[in-house]
């Protein structure tokens, strides 16, 4: 989750001054925080809404059936002007990576997770998110050199957590901690629990 939040901040840095904040301010509050990577998952939802509107005319006028056709069409559009190149390279393609990353985590798909992280790395470098750029490389190298036992577990989807068993409900380990253990520490019953232990 924190890698995704930083990546959303990287997108916000890359499209700074492009008019995205003005577009989002017409609907959402706290756009500055959203574009800095905070306010997850509102920032991801906002980016997906803008992406849908940007692609609406492209998708309706063409008979695009595969992702490769869509990317070819976007590359052609990017070659027509600097503005379209900025939006395609710094917003549309990164939001596709966000969607890929979320899908990988929800499905527990390890190879897709690694692909998404590998695609994120150049954007971390371009936006000067040096910690995620540096440690993202270290993370990729470490994950690519996993032992066979750990790799087998990760291929089975054991790199994500589940509150309940099932499909499409995997969440990041840091989000799992925040929705379970961190929550218990902030509730009113926590003091009662410690008082009970002391008695």
Q: What is the DSSP string of 74-107?
A: HHHHHTT-HHHHHHIIIIIHHHHHHHHHHHHHHH
Which residue would you say has higher pLDDT here, 162 or 13? 13
Burial of 130 (0-12, 13-18, 19+ CB in 10 A): exposed
**Neighbouring C-beta atoms of residue 91, cutoff 10 Å:** 20
The confidence score (pLDDT) of residue 51 equals 94
123 close to 40: Cβ distance less than 8 angstroms? no
Q: Per-residue pLDDT for 118 more than 70?
A: yes
Which residue would you say has higher pLDDT here, 29 or 143? 143
* Cis amide leading into 122 (omega within 30): no
Which residue would you say has higher pLDDT here, 109 or 165? 109
Q: Does the global pTM surpass 0.75?
A: yes
Across the range 103-127, mean pLDDT stands at 92
How many degrees, rounded to 5, is the angle at CA 2 between CA 30 and CA 17?
Answer: 40
């Amino acid at each position: 989750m924190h890698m995704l939040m930083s990546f959303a901040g990287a997108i916000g840095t890359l499209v700074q001054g492009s008019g995205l904040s003005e577009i989002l301010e017409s609907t959402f509050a706290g756009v500055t925080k959203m574009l800095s990577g905070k306010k997850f998952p509102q920032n991801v939802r906002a980016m997906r809404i803008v992406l849908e509107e940007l692609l609406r005319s492209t998708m309706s006028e063409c008979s695009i059936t595969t992702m490769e056709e869509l990317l070819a069409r976007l590359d052609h559009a990017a070659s027509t002007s600097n503005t379209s190149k900025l939006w395609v390279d710094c917003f549309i393609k990164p939001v596709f990576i966000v969607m890929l990353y979320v899908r990988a985590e929800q499905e527990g798909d390890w190879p897709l997770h690694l692909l998404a992280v590998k695609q994120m790395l150049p954007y971390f470098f371009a936006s000067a998110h040096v910690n995620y750029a540096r440690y993202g490389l270290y993370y990729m190298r470490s994950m690519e050199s996993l032992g066979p036992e750990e790799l087998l577990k990760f291929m089975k989807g054991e790199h994500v957590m589940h509150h309940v068993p099932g499909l499409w409900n995997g969440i990041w380990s840091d989000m799992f901690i925040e929705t379970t253990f961190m929550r218990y520490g902030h509730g009113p019953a926590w003091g009662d629990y410690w008082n009970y232990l002391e008695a």
